[in-house]
Amino acid sequence: MDKKTAVYICRGCEIGESLDIEELCELATGDCEADLCRDHECLCGDAGLELIKGDIREGANALVVAACSPRFKTDEFAFDECVSERVNLREFVVWSHEPNDEDTQMLAADYLRIGIARAKRTEIPEPFDEDIDKTILVVGGGVTGMAAAVEAAGAGYDVVLVEKEPQLGGFAGKCGWRFPLNPPYRELEPVDLSGRIAEVQGNERITVHTGTTIEEIKGQPGQFDVSVKANGSGSEFRVGAIVQATGWKPYDASRLGHLGYGSSPDVITNVEMEELIAAGAITRPSDGKPARRIAFIQCAGSRDENHLPYCSAVCCRVTIKQAMVARKFDSEAEAYVLYKDIRAPGQYEEFYQTAQDDPGIFFTKAEVVGVEKAGDSLQVEAENTLLGERIRIEADLVVLATGLVPAAADGEGIRQLTDAKAIIEKGEAGAQLQAAKVTFEELKHLDGTEILNLDYRQGPDLPVLKYEFPDSHFICFPYETRRTGIYAAGCVRAPNDSLVCMEDGAGAALKAVQSVELASQGTAVHPRWGDMSYPDFFMQRCTQCKRCTEECPFGTLNEDEKGTPLLNTTRCRRCGICLGCCPERIISFKDYSVEIISQMIKSVDIPDEFEEKPRLLGLLCENDAYPALDVAGLKRIQHSAFIRFIPVRCLGSINTVWVADALSRGFDGILLVGCKSGDDYQCHFIRGSELMSTRSDNIREKLKQLALEEERVRLEQLAISDFDKLPQIINEFAEQIDEIGLNPFKGF
């Protein structure tokens, strides 16, 4: 592409009053070799935009708009067929620095240099353009799966619903009664899914496969090739996106011996209680006599560090329901509920109150100490009760309210197991074999647990996170998983009641729709939707180190036998983590590459050591850190004028060569700012911040080798709301570098 670079400097929003615009213009057309430079008092106004459009008509195609943050006026400054680069003079310069100051002017000049350097090297991305299938595959035919299917079909998309059981309905379909899903949320409701099932089966857009399992899913969003098997015969079809609504499994009650499970047939789980209810009478499994005194033990294995540390959200309401059903079946029945805390969120408080008002349902907070047989019946002993004493209660039947475990498969674990098996089969002696045997022992319970059978290098199922739920981020990115185009909904995502499950089904279905639509437009999905760039591999120089295939958080890359990465474009979220990790620096995007950022770094003017003006480089994550600094500017919080920020797609997309480049160029310190990592991570690409932490250890090693102080490179993680902290961090870092002194390599 033949570039004609045009620079536009806006004088509005105090920029004109705070900077010497003429000097900047001279810089642009002088040293920076832009073809033209114009300034305007209000660039985003009609007159300003017309000015730019006029130049475009004259042939300008690489535009540098030096005005406000690129987070504002985004649509105004987007021009077809043009590279449009923004220079943030407003938030990053004039709103956060002394006006008409020498250092502020130098800062603005450097940002202009950086922007022009980028515009000159950026190419217009060409979207990935292949046939995209827009069919949605729904895995699981329970309440969630049926909702997802109906919603997706309602939005005009073909749906294939795969259910392993012979009938639709899932767990709810096996229950006789449920807690209310309709206002006023006070009374029991009978479960009747026949209408919903008919709706699914009667919908001409929905193809239902019951009694069917998935053999394999190959490909990528928009092009998933699915093989399924039913009654020994297989079939194949193509879909565009997948909603996994595989539901839940009850927590393994055999581990609840301390609550009497296994010691008597009359100690049962809430799931077994559902079976009694479905059978129409609550009887003791031991002798078949009616159970009239029923003790419910809440949080059986839940909210317990030794079992399930989390709350399963529904057990309290399920118990209340079961107690009410028991009373409905037999007015002589009594239910004793021993709880840690009753959790009946929202309107379900009313349902709880209905049960409370029943003289035959007794509640007390309690910690159950044990369940023992006493003659013909059982005795539950509990302490720390509301009665203020240690109590025993006689019961005919003890129901353990066990929690929900996601019916997900640990994709990464299965992958490790497969690898370990391969090593063991090879049988070569050595430390690797020992390690493989240990891994095999640890993970052998995962054998045969596959659900989706994905043909992904990183494993055949979704990666699971905390507590084995496959959600990528509970709050920021609901329904999303770490596999683009595959969305989790219902109890596999989080323990939920039917109402939330249906909402989940709709949400995940819409995510799936978004995914196929964006794929068909050739753009990335959230959070970089609209981004048409994708990684390009310069394969001649690939050393098959597999770092990119391992580190991609989204399993984008498969491998051939040699370990050469194979790109699946629509799986990619364009975070650039592969670019950051590649030691050969062969991965580039059209508008984001090792070369482009290096040139941007090198474009900064570094004053010589006698001027005593240190220069700091800030690599700022676009997702949260950049907006945080924008807000700091908006609030007029000042920060050091010695630092120059370059936005990066993710901390994980930082290639350490940039750090080396910057130090050799004469930068005195480098500040890397991104999102939080760890269990409660906020990284928009899940592992970027974490990977950067590991890489920064290597950087520190390098600094040592160069006899440079470790403190010259600092990694900071913050939340988008930490706008007030960021200027502090910058200023502290500037002071620290001032104390350490200037980079000894300056001027070399």
Instruction: Answer left, alpha or beta for residue 695, where phi above 0 means left and psi between -120 and 50 means alpha.
Output: alpha
How far apart, in whole angstroms, are the C-alpha atoms of residue 727 and residue 739? 18
> Which parts of 363-382 interact with other proteins (CB under 8 A)?
363-365, 370, 372, 374, 379, 381
Q: How far apart are CA 580 and CA 653, in angstroms?
A: 4
Query: In whole angstroms, how close is the CB of 247 to other proteins at the nearest point?
Result: 32
Backbone angles phi, psi at 223, to 5 degrees: -145, 45
3-state secondary structure 42-79: CCCCHHHHHHHHHHHHCCCCEEEEEECCCCCCCCCCCC
Query: In the range 53-92, which residues lie near other proteins by CB under 8 A?
Result: none
Q: Which residue in the block uniquely carries the two structure tokens 């109890």?
A: 491
Task: Work out which of 183, 202, 359, 448 binds other proteins, going by CB under 8 A.
Answer: 359
Residue nearer to other proteins on the CB measure, 381 or 709: 381
Distance CA 157, CA 137 (A): 10
Shortest spacing between CB 554 and other proteins, in angstroms: 47
Cβ distance to other proteins smaller for residue 212 or 377? 377
Q: For residues 263 and 564, which CB has a smaller minimum distance to other proteins in the complex?
A: 263
Helix (H, G, I), strand (E, B) or coil at 315: helix
Looking at beta carbons only, is 51 or 391 nearer to other proteins?
A: 391
Q: Return the residue of 165, 252, 358, 711 that touches other proteins, per CB under 8 A.
A: 358
Least spacing, CB of residue 317 vs other proteins, in Å: 16
Please, what's the b/e burial string for 673-686 (b: 16 or more CB within 10 A of its CB; e: otherwise)?
A: bbbbbeeebbbbbb
Supply 113's token pair: 């240099």
386 near other proteins, judged by CB under 8 A: yes
> 408 is written with which tokens?
């997900």
Q: Quick check: 390 binds other proteins (CB under 8 A)?
A: yes
Least distance from C-beta 359 to other proteins, angstroms? 4
Beta-bridge mates of residue 678: none
CA distance linking residue 678 with residue 690, whole number of Å: 7
> What residues from 109 to 138 belong to the interface with other proteins (CB under 8 A)?
none
Alpha-carbon gap, residue 611 to 53, rounded angstroms = 41
Residue spans of beta strands (DSSP E) within 519-593: 536-537, 557-559, 565-567, 587-588
Closest approach, Cβ 374 to other proteins, in A, equals 8
How many residues sit close enough to other proteins to count as binding (CB under 8 A)?
27
Q: Is 202 in the site for other proteins (CB under 8 A)?
A: no
Beta carbon nearer to other proteins, 357 or 697 = 357
Cβ proximity to other proteins, 389 vs 425, nearer residue: 389
Please state the closest distance from residue 264 (CB atom) to other proteins, in A. Answer: 15
What minimum distance in Å lies between the beta carbon of 276 and other proteins?
A: 21
391 binds other proteins (CB under 8 A): yes
Residue linked to tokens 């997802």: 148
Q: Which lies closer to other proteins via its Cβ, residue 329 or residue 362?
A: 362
Cβ 390 to other proteins shortest distance, Å: 4
Is 187 a binder of other proteins (CB under 8 A)? no
* CB of 213 or CB of 364, closer to other proteins: 364
Tokens read off for 457: 């290098």
- DSSP secondary structure, 470-518, as one string: --SBTTTBTTB-SSTTEEE-GGGTS---HHHHHHHHHHHHHHHHHHHHH
Q: Which of 74, 167, 347, 353 binds other proteins (CB under 8 A)?
A: 353
List 65, 67, 313, 393, residue binding other proteins (CB under 8 A): 393
Write out the DSSP string of 584-632: T--EEBTTB-HHHHHHHHHHS----GGG----EEEEEETTTHHHHHHHH
Q: Between 294 and 516, whose beta carbon lies closer to other proteins? A: 294
Paired residues of 36 in beta bridges: 6
Least Cβ distance, residue 266 to other proteins (angstroms) = 17
Whose CA is closest to 656, among 689, 696, 615? 696
One residue of 394, 503, 709, 711 binding other proteins per CB under 8 A? 394
CB of 363 to other proteins, least distance (A): 7
Cβ atoms 520, 131 nearer than 8 A: no
Among 50, 236, 383, 732, binds other proteins (CB under 8 A): 383
- Residue among 202, 232, 388, 427 that touches other proteins (CB under 8 A): 388
Using CB under 8 A as the binding rule, whether residue 263 contacts other proteins is answered as no
Closest CA to 724 of 638, 643, 619: 638
Residue 362 CB, nearest approach to other proteins (Å): 5
Asked if residue 539 binds other proteins (CB under 8 A), the reply is no
Across the strands, what pairs with 35? none
Nearer to other proteins, 288 or 359 (CB): 359
Q: Which stretch binds other proteins (CB under 8 A): 27-35, 251-259, 351-359, 536-544?
A: 351-359
Cβ distance to other proteins smaller for residue 198 or 374: 374
Sheet of 643-648: strands edge to edge? 643-648, 616-621, 669-674, 713-717
Residue 467 main-chain phi, psi, to 5 deg: 60, 20
Which is closer to other proteins, CB of 325 or CB of 491? 325
Tell me which stretch binds other proteins (CB under 8 A): 199-207, 354-362, 416-424, 574-582: 354-362
Among 356, 521, 564, 736, binds other proteins (CB under 8 A): 356
User: Least CB distance from residue 355 to other proteins, whole Å?
Assistant: 9
Q: How far apart are CA 695 and CA 581, in angstroms?
A: 9
Nearer to other proteins, 342 or 513 (CB): 342
Phi and psi, residue 139, nearest 5°: -100, 110
Cα 370 from chain centroid (whole Å): 41
Considering only 80-88, 205-213, 362-370, 632-640, which stretch makes contact with other proteins by CB under 8 A?
362-370
Exactly one of 8, 92, 261, 336 binds other proteins (CB under 8 A); that residue is: 336
Contact between residue 121 and residue 595 where contact means Cβ atoms under 8 Å apart: yes
Cα–Cα–Cα angle for 721, 71, 522, rounded to 5 degrees: 115
CB 589 within 8 A of CB 533: yes
Is the distance from CB of 215 to CB of 205 less than 8 angstroms? no
Binders of other proteins among residues 275 to 334 (CB under 8 A) are 334
Among 54-62, 359-367, 397-405, 662-670, the segment contacting other proteins (CB under 8 A): 359-367
Taking the complex as a whole, the smallest distance from the CB of residue 354 to other proteins amounts, in Å, to 10
Q: Looking at 238, 360, 433, 607, which residue binds other proteins (CB under 8 A)?
A: 360
Residue with smaller CB distance to other proteins, 380 or 673 = 380
Query: In terms of CB distance, is 391 or 510 closer to other proteins?
Result: 391
Reply yes or no: is the peptide bond before residue 527 cis, omega within 30 of 0.
yes
Which part of the chain contacts other proteins (CB under 8 A), choosing from 24-32, 243-251, 270-278, 357-365? 357-365
What is the rounded CA–CA span in Å between residue 449 and residue 65? 54
What is the closest distance, in whole angstroms, from the C-beta atom of residue 356 to other proteins in the complex?
A: 5
User: Is residue 35 part of the contact set for other proteins (CB under 8 A)?
Assistant: no
* C-alpha span between 647 and 673 (Å, rounded): 10
Positions in the binding site for other proteins (CB under 8 A): 334, 336, 353, 356-360, 362-365, 370, 372, 374, 379, 381, 383, 386-394
